[in-house]
Structure 1
Amino acid sequence: MGKSARTFGAALRAQRVLLGLTQREVADRARVSVRALRYIENGSAPRSDLLHRLASAVGLDSSVFTRTPSARIRILGPLEVEGVPVPLMQRRLLGLLALHPNQIVAREEIIDVLWPESPPHSHVHLVHNYVARLRAFTTVERLHGGYRLVANSCGLDLLRFNDLLMHTDLAGLSEAVNLWRGPVLANLPDEVRLHPSAIALHQRRIATVLAHTDLVLRTPGEPFSPSLITLAHDEPLHEGLQARLMLALARTGQQASALRLFERVRDRLAAELGVEPRSDLRDAHLRVLRQEV
């Protein structure tokens, strides 16, 4: 529970008593349930619109209690929240919301991700509590039957990644690929880690690494990103990645390793998919043979 939540709840209760108002009267003024008001007076963190309504109902200055949490969230790899330990269920929820920053995620989708088998009877109350705990270090709004993580590129690495992809220069792409610390949300369960949005983001990572490598290959002396090796290892049948890795190996004086890589990929494609290498892999092989890298 954050300090500002306790402060607002205490100030709200003190102001209500000073005005001689009951909880029912304040709840009616603010268009909120008595139960919700009771939770807030006991220290539960209200969402921003509710805080403003309650403050207005009793004549408090809401700006005194408004804060902008600043914990940095990273999802391009294992989920990390700077300086804040987050329990598993809240991490699942945060991971799902962070995959869709500044977008509404429907309550039904949240429930499916948190409880893929069978949600408990108290699931609506539990989601409310999880959101309240997330609000101790970040901003989550409830809107139109769902929740939205409010974030910017300074506080969420995904948004920084998106910003960098608006530029196709080498410096921007280098920073973009280096933001990644591993597979997206790697330390979360499959319901989040393999969410369609996470899979789509993984494909964008691959496309960015390919574009970055192509620029590096045209720029003498520029280092390759470690992500190229990592992704090529994780995606052994992705011919675009394997072709770029072959060229990178040859570029760094490892022509024999590049040729052995071609043979391994060719044999694996034949054994597992029954296909021959496509043109990008064949062209890379030819360039290595001719030492045109």
Structure 2
Amino acid sequence: MSGLPRLVATDLDGTLVGADGAISDRTAAVLRAVEARGVPVVFVTGRPLRWAADVFEHVGSHGLAVVSNGAVVWDVAEERARLERPIDPALGLEVCRALRAAVPGTTYAVEDLDGIALEPEFLERYLVPEGSRRAPVEELFDRPALKLLARHEELDPQDFWSRAEVATEGRLVITWSSSTSLLEISAPGVTKASTLALLCDELGVAAADVVAFGDMPNDLPMLGWAGTAYAMANAHPDVLALAHHVAPHHDEDGVAQVLTGLFGLDEV
């Protein structure tokens, strides 16, 4: 990257957001200072829209966020999807059958802009919105989905991911960002990186002028694409190995510390 970044792309959980689930006052102030310099801050998260919206107040006046691991570009100001990249139901069900045959005990949920629908056996770790459908995946996947979730209660995340990659033969994009065995599955070619690249092309920003922050395997494509990549000190080993630099721990306002130095901001 020559000169200052022209766009900041940051993951949320484990990166910008503290262990308390909030963006600190210090980090929020730094994001505002960066935005005031005309540099967009884009949240690029695996969170579905319903969770990402909790922190949208911090994305600045441009109001753009990439959610569901790249399945959606959300226009915060206009409260609408600017781009959707969903999974075709036929392909999704084909992958579900293949994965469940190879890894018995796999359960599924599907997400769209309206919320989440889950199989009865799918044990969600977070509060499920009231009225969420519970049914076999063959009934749930009756329209395009932004993300398919696969969970296993016995395998560890790395093992589940590895076995799923073999079973599904690259037909969909599989990643994970959880400490539990929860796989996040997207449409072919859909990653944080590919959607961020589309957005940056629209904004006239080159990859070389993007600084990106992340901590988990679902951030790997984005960090590999960005001109400058920071792994958080608390990041997964694969992320630490890929990134150009290491930022302080997310509970130490690591993103804010780095941005303060990059942009020569006054400490807040």
Tell whether the structures are fold-level matches, with TM greater than 0.5.
no
Normalising to structure 1: TM-score of the pair?
Answer: 0.23
TM-score between both structures, scaled by the size of structure 2: 0.24
Give the structure with higher Rg (CA): 1
